[in-house]
Amino acid sequence: MSNYDAIIIGAGHNGLTNAAYLAKAGLNVVVVEKNEYIGGAAVTRELQEGWKYSNCSYVCSMMRQAIHRDLDLAKHGLILVPYLGNINFGDGDERLLSYHNEEAAHLELKRHSPHDADAMHRFQTDLTRYSQLIRKTLMRTPPDPTSFRPRDIMELLYLAKQFWKLGEKELYEYVRFFTMSAAEYLEDYFENDLIKAAMASPGIIGTALGVYSPGSSYILLHHVMGDVDGSIGAWGLARGGMGAISNAIAGAVNEFGGEIRTNSGVQKILVENRKAVGVVLENGDEIRARIVVSNLDAKRTFTRIMDKNDLPDGIYDKAKNFKIRGSSGKVNIALSGMPKFTGVPENRYVARGGQVFTGSLETMERAYDCWKHGRWSDDPFIESVIPSAWDPTVAPPGQHWMSNFVQYCPAELSDGPWTPEKRDQFGESVIKKIEGYSPGFRDLIVHMEVRTPYEIEKEIGLTEGNIFQGELTIDQLFFNRPFPGYGQYRMPVKNMYMCGSSTHPGGGVSSVCGANAAREILMDLRRTNTVPEDDFYDE
Amino acid sequence: MTTTDPYAGERLKRTAFYARAKELNIRDAWAAWNGYKFAEYYYDAEYEYFCVRNTCATYDICPMQKYEIKGRDAEAMLNRMVTRDVKKIGLNRVAYCVWCTDEGRMIDDGTIFKLADDRFMLTCGSPCTAWLEMSVFGFDDVTVTDVTDDIAALSLQGPTSCATLKKMGLQGIDTAKPFDILYFPFQGDTLMVSRTGFTGDLGYELWIKKDLAIEMWDELYAAGDDYGIQPFGEAATNMARLEAAFIMPAMEFNEALRTVNFEHDQTPFELSLGWLVDFKKPHFSGRSALLKEKQRGPKYTLTKLDIEGNRPAAGSYIYSSKLCTKEIGYVTSAMWSPSVKANIALAMIKTDYLEGNLWAEIYYEKELRQYSRVARCTRKTKPFWAPARARATPPPDH
Amino acid sequence: MDHYDSIIIGAGHNGLVAAAYLARSGQQVLLLEAADVCGGLGRKREFHPGFQGSVAHSVSHFSSKIANDLSLSSFGYESPTNSLATVGLSSDGQHTVVKDGRVEGVGEKDAAAYQEYRRQMRRFADALSPFWLKTIPRIGSAGMSDLMTFGHLGLNIRKLGKKDMREFMRIATLPVRDLMDENFENDILKTTLGWDGLIGSKLAPRSPNSAVLAMLYRMAGESEGTHAIPAGGVAGLIDALCQSAKASGAEIRHSAAVSRILIEGGADGLVATGVQLADGQKIMASRVVSSADPKSTFFNLVGVEHLDIGFTNRIRRLRCDGYVGKLHLALNGAPEFAGLDKADGRMIIAPKLDAIEFAYDDAKYGECSRNPVMEIVVPSLHDASLAPENQHVLSAHVMYVPHKLQGGWTDAARVAIGDRAIETIAQYAPNIRAQIIHSEFLTPADLEADYGVTGGHWHHTEMAVDQMLMMRPTYEAAQYGTPVPGLYLCGAGSHPGGDITGNAGHNAAQEILR
């Protein structure tokens, strides 16, 4: 049995990032992964021969370029190619295309509402301002506001300064934006319902909130604050699927001498004298190390692979109360050809973007109501993309694969547990909706994989299949993430850390959580920091 | 979408004069303005510029935003929006205006045409629909209609512009004083002509129903043939306007509603447009902020500079000494002025340093090698180019 | 008198409080009220001959400082000592009763959890409590006393200690449902305690960010937010405020609707100089203080031509749609709720948090709740003057009733929701229908028409975190002064917000006298 400096539990992209930075600092690290493949929710899986599904996460916007460059992910095979916009499908015949070209996008908005086309400039300006503020906090460890340590006070002052730089008016506007519902916030800008719906839709992706729930406008920002090469809000696809990201980071881990063990699920984190000392694998093997880093979500970490008695008072309850609600499903479809959508021009550029089955604010909200009642909606919100339109590696030539992210899908149904039949019915609701916009769609289907929160939790280990590893509401953001007092990656048991999306800044394929945790760990181990500072395009 | 062109939604729109402009744009040098296909230049920017200064030339201003503002409260609504006193605009007169946020930062500039006591036309460079909607709220009787696509507009600028219009048959055009509006019958409809422009020279702007655009163009060009008429594009416009020291959005000012960073937009006082702010008129948006700004003095002042040498100072910093130790401003627009044979620039300079020495650090390229030099700047108080003919009524024939 | 120091528009409780304070300081004060009696939403309303109610049917955190300052006790108002029990009605008659810091009708675990919950919420409420009676300064201004206010707030939160401070920063934005689920098991207890975070707002149990602040706001003061009906009812308090204001020299005119705030302009800018009444009469004053809601004040009385465009938009976008309807029943006897000896508490009908959530879901699409939830008080049990002998008045706040009903409000729609509310009550008080002599249902649209409150919103504008503190109603007008010199706000649309507290009136007066 070898002795390691660090064990990282879970080879998701954050775990791998964490391992890469620790290994880079010269630590002897091992990443243990329960599945036979690495990547967690950033994976590429060939479930049908010739088709490679990014069957969990499907889009990349938050990956910090500082990490991308620093770990030399390009060398390890990663290239991110930006989307060229979206088609929003309204209820009925309405379509809103977000063209890549600014003039064209403006004209398209104007076709729906000249007022909104103009207001979009103000909206984009304001959103950029808020994004810039949040982005400055991403690769920094949140301060503990209850602490008097110089580091925390300095960090609070840094934050205060960033807020101050907004100017008084924008500061208040920021509070408004940060706490309101996406739908109500957008009232100040737009009048056209489809435009409002299209703009609000990122506010519900992955969350147990609706477009009318306060707090959803922050979720909106969380999805659009990333960038591809400095253009804020742009989304990109990883060539070869999302697994290419994990594989590239794993390449970096290997390069720095780290070890990755698959088929090695952790049964328990070993705690002795209130210190984490290693893990016991499901096969009974014991691995010991100076520190243990969990990339699992907070609920799973503390309630499933730790003994309640090993935890200080109250932590178990905090973990139990941690909000990690399953609200999304995923339907991955192999297609024998490119589907045609009604009301959409057969324009080679338009196909190189996403398809968003937005409906209207009310459609989205009613889908949320269904979720509250413990059922899926017959008229779900679906965010789709056909990556094979510009990634030649993920489907046979002339054939395609389509990723369909579905909001909402409950983790627990009101009429009893998930069954394969119910799963298929859920999948059918998605096909039916798409078929409504693309007659004949069904006939193109070669293979499909339907994933409800139940499947996602079972395979990936995300509690309730929550894509963010925990809701992104203020009570679970920043220094409150995952719990107040534990916002700095160190956990209540000594020598134990967390590095997943349950920590600041939360979900998304960003690698930030893993990198931030590595920085804190190296500080504790008195090693030279290997984690780069974030860099910004001059904003 | 019933069109057969799958790219229709992505293509730029064509202005009412496109059929003629296309024939004359032999270099296919197109740019975009507000979603319209728009000439960067037609033949050669400098040649077109000299047509503006030497003969006459037309500039297609169809893409400029045009709003008709009508109703009993139209005047009150506009008066609360812009900083000038709209009440003081005479009937059939035009006034240059700016409008600001509550914080006194400039949203845009434009012109107001008073067409009747209860009917105005507002023109501006970028869409203003959303701000107008906000401005209209609370007024009972005022409607705003975007007439950009209904009205074709062509600017005719240069010393022979009046003569051309006379030849075209516009009787009495020579009586129009600067900022006057006159009306002429044209093919059963009305041709509106205002003595306005963006070149600092003698010039007019012609406004006609879209359907008659080509007919008007043809008559104008037939009349202008003997007077050297020529279309000019954005490049020549930018030269002419800089000589006249007119400001441009995204050059001299950043539209406030599109400004991300705090106070990276400008106030009218910073842009040396204090004369447009009338504190004696009824309340207007931004008034208290602007009053404070006026009392305190603007942080920066837009300044006209005549710079040593011949290398344009585009993008240069301005310093208070030749040693370039203290940076006190930056150049917003710069060029060699062919008319006055001077190296001219507009620059934002910290007001406190205006009276002292001004130096520009100019970077330039010579056969791929980069050079820099520090050049002395002289402040100008008058526009670089302001010929008497621009104001004379009646204007000279050439 | 042709020139006053201050004219106050609206004799709701905040207008009265402001008038009393200003008059006591020696100002010549004129208070103008459109209705023929004082009180606004707290005034008596005879909805059937001999039967009276008021839209606000109980008092929970009226400031004792104000009561003392204005000597209300000498005008017949005593801070109520006998608080109402809050009763979560259960269809099986096993009601949950919260009274005097104890809870009955729940399991031991919940009863114990309640003590810890109450301790902690009490601490949080106490930390915030001084700031409801203070102007919250603009962040942009940096006067010493302004910094002190923020320093004080920071210190109060620090003083909670590490553990509670962390918990405070976490729960401050929690939805009611999460807070309750974390603490309790009993559904009725959850709705009963969560109710005060939701009542009067467009918020449901699953809505994050604002509900806990509303709860803590309502827990400020000595009474811990427990409700009471003062001697003489809510109108008794109003009456005492009227008398106190008059005794201090304030002049009160009824049936004197203000049609316009007079604003004069000059080279120095605008200034409010007085008001014009509906009959055309002009009355001049050094300042005008409006207790009307912000939208009415700025759009109906000031006029947008006197306001900046951005400011106008910030007022325009205030969320002012009310979601509470008011049911008044004239009963021929005391209502009998199954399992309840006497209906003298504040009774809440909301079987589960999700019942509230689903009631809200209907309203967010502009429909009335299919299964409304409500708060019921029988004020005539506490104030016999409200109904003929042995007869009673039942007063209920019914949620959720949208201000903008799809298809618009009609008599039929009003009857339908009124009926649904009675039907709901009948599930708990089976004899109620037989007891009804007369019923009245006031929709938010009715409240708007009868009381002049935009959207029929109790709190004039939503008590959401982005519309609270130094952002209420918007940052340029949050310190009671407005962009128009000489014009002040003193109503529920100003910090700290709605409910019968008098705080906004008090704070505005302090700001004017500063």
- State whether C308 and B287 contact (CB < 8 Å): yes
Residue A167's alpha-carbon distances to A163, B285, C49, in angstroms, are 8, 19, 58
Q: How far apart are the C-alpha atoms of C152 and C169, rounded to whole Å?
A: 17
Work out the number of other CB atoms within 10 angstroms of the CB of residue B90.
Answer: 11
Would you give the distance in Å from CA C438 to the centre of its chain? 26
ipTM score? 0.95
Q: Are A388 and A428 in contact (CB under 8 A)?
A: no
- State whether A118 and B131 contact (CB < 8 Å): yes
Chain B residues whose CB is inside 8 A of the C303 CB are: 138
Chain A residues whose CB is inside 8 A of the B12 CB are: 103-104
- The amino acid that residue C41 corresponds to is L
If residue A357 lies in a helix (H) or strand (E), which one and from where to where? strand A354-359
> pTM of the prediction?
0.96
Kindly state whether residues A173 and A249 are assigned to the same domain: no
Going by C-alpha positions, the residue among A483, A31, A488 that lies closest to residue A279 is A31
- State whether A347 and B35 contact (CB < 8 Å): no
Kindly state whether residues A294 and A358 are assigned to the same domain: no
> Does residue C266 surpass a pLDDT of 90?
no
Q: Which of A147, A172, A480 to mutate to test the interface with C (most CBs of C within 10 A)?
A: A172
Q: How far apart are the C-alpha atoms of B347 and C151, rounded to whole Å?
A: 43
CATH 3.30.70.1400 fits B65-146, yes or no: yes
What architecture is domain B299-393?
Beta Barrel (2.40)
pLDDT in tens, B205-218: 999 999 999 999 99
If residue C239 lies in a helix (H) or strand (E), which one and from where to where? helix C233-247
Give a three-class secondary structure readout of chain B.
CCCCCCCHHHCCECCCCHHHHHHHCCCCCEEEECCEEEECCCCCHHHHHHHHHHCEEEEECCCCEEEEEECCCHHHHHHHHECCCHHHCCCCEEEEEEEECCCCCEEEEEEEEEEECCEEEEEECCCCHHHHHHHHCCCCCCEEEECCCCEEEEEEECCCHHHHHHHCCCCCHHHCCCCEEEEEEECCEEEEEECCCCCCCCEEEEEEEHHHHHHHHHHHHHHHHHHCEEECCHHHHHHHHHHCCCCCECCCECCHHHCCCCCCCCCCCCCCCHHHCCCCCCCCCCHHHHHHHHHHCCCEEEEEEEECCCCCCCCCEEECCCCCCCEEEEEEEEEEECCCCEEEEEEEEEHHHCCCCEEEEEEEEECCEEEEEEEEEEEECCCCCCCHHHCCCCCCCC
**Mean of pLDDT values over C346-364:** 97
Query: Which structure tokens are listed for A315?
Result: 């932590």
Q: What is the dihedral of CA A142, A147, A150, A154, to 10 degrees?
A: 40
Q: How far apart are the C-alpha atoms of A197 and A365, rounded to whole Å?
A: 10
Give the A window 352-371 contacts with C, CB below 8 Å: 362, 365, 369
Going by C-alpha positions, the residue among A221, A151, A32, A179 that lies closest to residue A488 is A151
Burial A63-92 (b: 16+ CB within 10 A, else e): bbbbbbebbebeebebebebbbbbbbbbee
**Smallest CA–CA distance from A160 into chain C, residue:** C139
Q: How far apart are the C-alpha atoms of A165 and B257, rounded to whole Å?
A: 17
Is residue A456 situated within a structural domain? no
Chain C residues whose CB is inside 8 A of the B295 CB are: none
Q: Are A185 and A123 in contact (CB under 8 A)?
A: no
Q: How many CB pairs under 8 A join A and C?
A: 88
**Smallest CA–CA distance from C366 into chain A, residue:** A362
Give the B window 224-283 contacts with C, CB below 8 Å: 279-280, 282-283
List subunits contacting chain A, requiring 3 or more Cβ pairs under 8 Å. B, C
What architecture is domain C3-38+232-319+460-513?
3-Layer(bba) Sandwich (3.50)
Percentage of chain C surpassing pLDDT 90?
90
Give the residues of chain A that fall short of pLDDT 50: 1
Going by C-alpha positions, the residue among A531, A504, A536 that lies closest to residue A222 is A504
Kindly state whether residues A125 and A144 are assigned to the same domain: yes
Q: What pLDDT, on a 0 to 100 scale, did the predictor assign at position B1?
A: 44
Q: How far apart are the C-alpha atoms of B389 and C377, rounded to whole Å?
A: 84
Chain B residues whose CB is inside 8 A of the A107 CB are: 9, 13, 35
So where are chain C's domains? Answer: 3-38+232-319+460-513, 114-218
Overall size of chain A counted in residues: 539
So where are chain B's domains? Answer: 8-64+149-243, 65-146, 299-393
**Mean of pLDDT values over C381-390:** 93
Q: How far apart are the C-alpha atoms of A169 and C423, rounded to whole Å?
A: 49
Q: Is B146 on the interface with A (CB under 8 A)?
A: yes
SS3 label, residue C6 = strand
- State whether A475 and C173 contact (CB < 8 Å): yes
Going by C-alpha positions, the residue among C445, C439, C510 that lies closest to residue C480 is C510
CATH code: domain of residue A249: 3.50.50.60
**Mean of pLDDT values over C304-323:** 97
CB neighbour class for B379 (10 Å; exposed up to 12, middle 13-18, buried from 19): middle
Q: Is B128 on the interface with A (CB under 8 A)?
A: yes
List of residues 6+ apart from B379 with CB closer than 8 A = B303, B304, B305, B306, B354, B358
Residue B359's alpha-carbon distances to A472, B177, B303, B349, in angstroms, are 52, 40, 13, 11
**Mean of pLDDT values over C60-72:** 93
- State whether C307 and B283 contact (CB < 8 Å): yes
> Does residue C142 surpass a pLDDT of 70?
no
Is residue A495 situated within a structural domain? yes
Kindly state whether residues A372 and A340 are assigned to the same domain: yes
- State whether C303 and B138 contact (CB < 8 Å): yes
Q: Are B344 and B383 in contact (CB under 8 A)?
A: no
Q: Are A337 and A444 in contact (CB under 8 A)?
A: yes
**Smallest CA–CA distance from A106 into chain B, residue:** B35
Would you give the distance in Å from CA C250 to the centre of its chain? 24
Taking chain B (398 residues) in runs of 10, the rounded mean pLDDT of each run is 77 96 96 94 98 98 98 98 98 98 97 98 96 98 97 98 97 97 97 98 98 98 97 98 97 96 96 97 96 96 97 97 96 97 98 96 96 96 96 91
- State whether B6 and A167 contact (CB < 8 Å): no
Q: Are B366 and B195 in contact (CB under 8 A)?
A: no
SS3 label, residue C376 = strand
- State whether C309 and B135 contact (CB < 8 Å): yes
Kindly state whether residues A365 and A427 are assigned to the same domain: yes
Q: How far apart are the C-alpha atoms of C2 and A332, rounded to whole Å?
A: 78
Give the A window 119-158 contacts with B, CB below 8 Å: 119, 121-122, 125, 128-129, 132
Determine the longest span between alpha carbons in chain C, in angstroms: 71
Chain A residues whose CB is inside 8 A of the C178 CB are: 321, 323, 475
pLDDT in tens, C469-503: 999 999 999 999 999 999 999 999 999 999 999 99
**Smallest CA–CA distance from C300 into chain B, residue:** B138
Query: Which structure tokens are listed for B55?
Result: 């003969």
Burial C119-154 (b: 16+ CB within 10 A, else e): ebbbebbbbbbebbbbbbbbbeeeeeebeebeeebe
Q: Is C310 on the interface with B (CB under 8 A)?
A: yes
Chain A residues whose CB is inside 8 A of the B131 CB are: 118
The count of domains in chain A is: 3
pLDDT in tens, A181-191: 999 999 999 99
**Smallest CA–CA distance from A171 into chain B, residue:** B262
**Smallest CA–CA distance from A188 into chain C, residue:** C317
Residue entry with tokens 């509402």: A113
CATH 3.30.1360.120 fits B8-64+149-243, yes or no: yes
> Does residue C1 surpass a pLDDT of 70?
no
In degrees, rounded to 5, the angle at the alpha carbon of residue B110 between the alpha carbons of residues B106 and B116 is 130
Residue entry with tokens 């200034």: C271
Domain encompassing residue A435: 328-409+412-451
Residue B294's alpha-carbon distances to B141, B255, B299, C309, in angstroms, are 33, 20, 10, 20
